[in-house]
Amino acid sequence: MADRKRSSFSLALLAMAALAVLAIVAFAPEAARAQAMTYPQTTLEPKSEVARSIDEILDGIVIWVIVIFVLVEGALVVTVLRFRRRPGGPAAKPIHGNTALELGWTLAPAIILALIAVPTVKTIFANAKPTTGDITVRVIGHQWWWEFQYPGKGVLTANELHLPLGKTVALELESVDVIHSFWVPAFAGKKDLIPGRTNHLWFTPEATGTFSGQCAEFCGASHANMYFKVIVHTPEEFDAWVAQQKAPVPAPDSTSLAARGLEVYQKGQCVACHMIDGVSYGMLGPNLNKVALRQTIAGGMFPNDEKNMAAWIKNAPALKPGSLMMNMNLTDQDVEALVAFLRTRR
């Protein structure tokens, strides 16, 4: 009987030890990093000084958590082993508290919280320090897409924030409707876009490539469909991108399908909401001047190809709940012509 008890006890101990090892492996930052390689939208792969300062706080806290876990579980195991009830042993003696212990386990968490708070608050203040940066971009939140304006550069785009490598960008965050939150984990923490005020965020991209971000504040039916990309170029490539965005687009050949699409665009309701240089001046929807150069449409929901563009024009609310772009009941021929026209905007 006693033997069976002992073996089930050792089994429980073994299970606890295995759990402890699992917890340490699962929460160790390096393990998390390796896992993150297959999931690019992560705070664990910082690509700017701001994101790294936040990641370092997390690393520090994870170390504290591991130390506390080992100490508490260790004390638990020792207690279970040394003070468990033995056959023929004396009955347990009830006691009334222990002042030193009570003080200890009240003070220790307070000290640990203070040790976490000091670097956290320091980092918050350091990252909130105003900066003019090397380049300014106005970020405007809309239900449910992102507008990016480059003051002084005459560039206006949507759902794609293009930035030069190694230059500090100062973002001015605004909203035209409800509260959104700008979040691109590789570069910075979350910051709200609030109607009627301008919030600021800055960082310096340290790697070229495409990084994903999304809205991080519930903002209505398609909050979860409000994505964007940050595309970091070398400074030369960035200048070329700006030049390309500003280059005039020749009018479509008068006999082409695209010319017919331009007609549909001008006669229809498109002009009320969208902007195309020399054609229309709507500001409610995304600027379409260079729409064919973008990787995605519909607030980052779909790859920007002819099939998706046609489906989107045909019936946007069917693809994106709450979309403010109405179903305009266009014929398939009109949609096809519109797509042909929009493909020329590059």
- Residue 217 C-beta: closest distance to ligand CUA, Å: 5
For residue 43, with 0-12 CB atoms within 10 Å meaning exposed, 13-18 middle and 19 or more buried, which class applies?
middle
Q: Whole-angstrom Cα distance, residue 124 to residue 127?
A: 5
- Residue 194 C-beta: closest distance to ligand CUA, Å: 12
Which 8-state DSSP code applies to residue 89?
P
Reduce the DSSP state of residue 284 to 3 states and report it.
Answer: coil
| Count of residues that interact with ligand CUA, criterion CB under 6 A | 9
| Tokens standing for residue 102 | 């009570």
Which CB, 219 or 330, lies closer to ligand CUA? Answer: 219
* 229 part of the interface to ligand CUA, by CB under 6 A: no
> Which of 226, 264, 297, 298 is the binder for ligand CUA (CB under 6 A)?
226
> Which of 137, 139, 158, 219 is the binder for ligand CUA (CB under 6 A)?
219
Which CB, 217 or 336, lies closer to ligand CUA? Answer: 217
Query: CB–CB of 236/309 below 8 Å?
Result: no
Which CB, 144 or 211, lies closer to ligand CUA? Answer: 144
- Residue 193 C-beta: closest distance to ligand CUA, Å: 8
User: Going edge to edge, which strands form the sheet with 209-215?
Assistant: 160-164, 227-233, 209-215, 180-183, 191-193
Contact string 161-180 vs ligand CUA (x = CB under 6 A): -------------------x
- Residue 177 C-beta: closest distance to ligand CUA, Å: 9
Strand spans (E) along the chain: 135-142, 145-150, 155-158, 160-164, 169-175, 180-183, 191-193, 199-203, 209-215, 227-233, 275-276, 280-281, 296-297, 302-303
Q: Whole-angstrom Cα distance, residue 293 to residue 238?
A: 14
Contact string 179-208 vs ligand CUA (x = CB under 6 A): -x----------------------------
Q: Pick the stretch among 98-106, 216-224, 324-332, 337-345 that binds ligand CUA (CB under 6 A).
A: 216-224
| Tokens standing for residue 334 | 């009109």
- Residue 172 C-beta: closest distance to ligand CUA, Å: 17
Which CB, 227 or 341, lies closer to ligand CUA? Answer: 227
Q: Give the C-alpha distances (Å, rounded to integers) separating 59 from 26, 218, 262.
A: 13, 28, 55
Question: Between residue 91 and residue 150, which ones bind ligand CUA under the rule CB under 6 A?
Answer: 141, 144
Which CB, 218 or 281, lies closer to ligand CUA? Answer: 218
CB proximity list for 342: less than 8 A, separation 6 or greater? 261, 288, 291, 292, 309
> Which of 191, 223, 320, 343 is the binder for ligand CUA (CB under 6 A)?
223
Q: Pick the stretch among 80-88, 90-98, 217-225, 282-290 that binds ligand CUA (CB under 6 A).
A: 217-225
Q: Pick the stretch among 90-98, 160-168, 210-218, 271-279 that binds ligand CUA (CB under 6 A).
A: 210-218
Neighbours of 253 (CB within 10 A): 10
- Residue ranges binding ligand CUA (CB under 6 A): 141, 144, 180, 215, 217-219, 223, 226
